Structure 1
Amino acid sequence: MLFHYHHWTPYIEQTEAFYARLGFRVSQRIGKYNGSYQSFDPPLDWDDFRGRPITFRIIEMRRGSVNITFGQGKRVMFDHIGYLTNERRLGIICQQAETAGLRVQRGEKRTFISTSHSFRVELQTHQEAVDEIDSPFRLQSLNIETTTDGLEQEINQLLHPYSSGVQSLITHRHALHSALISHPAFEETVDPNGVKLISARTSS
């Protein structure tokens, strides 16, 4: 199940505020401060630490079965998308990735596969990565910009026989163009990193 995307961005506070207005909650904030990584999780808010020189490694926000993360970057850079899966499917997908010559980084909680299109695919087997696995608020599909053809074919082969939910758009850059949200009450908008969020109700 498609559930996740991640950006590096200079618009950390703005991105958090944007998704909070859409009903997402902050589940964690991890930042480097005074030479070490520390937690700035809720109930702390930005008024508690805004003046400190914190470099945020990750801010995680959740709503329903959607999980969005972002970290401090000098410019907006799309990093990866994520799928919730199980151990059996994980093994199948990793084997298909290795057969295709893609780099696989296995971890205790997450596995990353590097595509040939300047972004990664995360495979997550822990269902607690989302607040509600069967929520009507979910990522239906992602449209990814790429400079070369073949992205959809590569992701579909990687995830086969499971649905990838990925579409591609040939442009001059590598970026996440848009996310289709299944919730019928969701209205179209654009996040601070240029990602268009579209309701499945208005996508046709």
Structure 2
Amino acid sequence: MLFHYHFWTPNVEETERFYKELGFEVTLRVGKFQGEFQKFNPPLNWNDFRDHNILFRVIEVRKGSINITFGYGKKVMFDHIGFLVSQKEYNAIYDRAKEMNWSIDEGDRRTFITTPYGFKIELQTNMDVVNDQDDSTLVQLNIMVKDQGLEKDLSLLFNTDMKSVTSLLGDMVTVKEAVIQGISTSKIDPNGVEVINISH
């Protein structure tokens, strides 16, 4: 199940505010302050630390089965998408990625597969990365890529007809549209992602 995307962005506070206005809950803030990584989680808000010159490594917002993360970068840069999978699905996807000669970085909490399309795929088996407090879902991502073949390769990797990720050709790699069920309106986020509301 598609559940996640991650950006690096100079617009960290603005991105958090954008998703909070759509009903997302801030669940994690980790940033480098005075040479050390520290947590600045709620109930702390930006007025508590805005002037501290914190370099945020990750801010996480959640709504239903959606988990979106972003961290500080000098320019807006799309990094990865994420799928929540069972252990059985994980094992099969891992084997197929090896057969496709895609690079795999296996970690304790998550595994990243590097695609030839300029972004990574996170495989996540831990259900605690989503809240499920409502039925909000990340229905589809439309990703701009520089080369053809993304849907075909993802269908091979996941061994299913890939409907949750579509692509269009362009001169950069980024998420153009995120189709979400469970938000009240459609808006463009500070990093250029058109977040599109669909009803049930």
Residue segments in structure 1 that go unaligned for 5+ positions in a row: none
Distance (whole Å) between structure 1 residues aligned to residue 161 and residue 57 of structure 2: 31
Match of 2:190 in 1: 192
The normalised TM-score by structure 2 is 0.96
Q: Is residue 151–residue 162 contact of structure 2 (8 Å, CA) maintained in 1?
A: no
Q: Is residue 177–residue 194 contact of structure 1 (8 Å, CA) maintained in 2?
A: yes
Distance (whole Å) between structure 1 residues aligned to residue 191 and residue 52 of structure 2: 23
Distance (whole Å) between structure 2 residues aligned to residue 167 and residue 186 of structure 1: 23
Q: Does 1:150 align with 2:153?
A: no
Q: Which amino acid aligns with 1:24?
A: F
Q: Does 1:32 align with 2:47?
A: no
The 1:148/1:155 distance shift into structure 2, 3 A limit, reads same
Equivalent pairs: percent with the same residue? Answer: 44
Distance (whole Å) between structure 2 residues aligned to residue 180 and residue 20 of structure 1: 17
Match of 1:174 in 2: 173
Residue segments in structure 2 that go unaligned for 5+ positions in a row: none
Q: Which amino acid aligns with 2:153?
A: E
Superimposed CA distance per residue, residues 29-49 of structure 1 (whole angstroms, 9 cap, x where no aligned partner) = 000111110000111100000
Matches within 5 A, 1:11-160: 11-132=11-132, 135-160=134-159
Superimposed CA distance per residue, residues 107-165 of structure 1 (whole angstroms, 9 cap, x where no aligned partner) = 111010000000000011011100008x4210011000011111111111111137451
Q: Which amino acid aligns with 2:146?
A: T
How many aligned residue pairs are there? Answer: 200
Q: Is residue 81–residue 122 contact of structure 2 (8 Å, CA) maintained in 1?
A: yes
The normalised TM-score by structure 1 is 0.94
Q: Is residue 143–residue 179 contact of structure 1 (8 Å, CA) maintained in 2?
A: yes
- Cα RMSD of the aligned pairs, angstroms, is 1.5
Q: Is residue 154–residue 162 contact of structure 2 (8 Å, CA) maintained in 1?
A: no
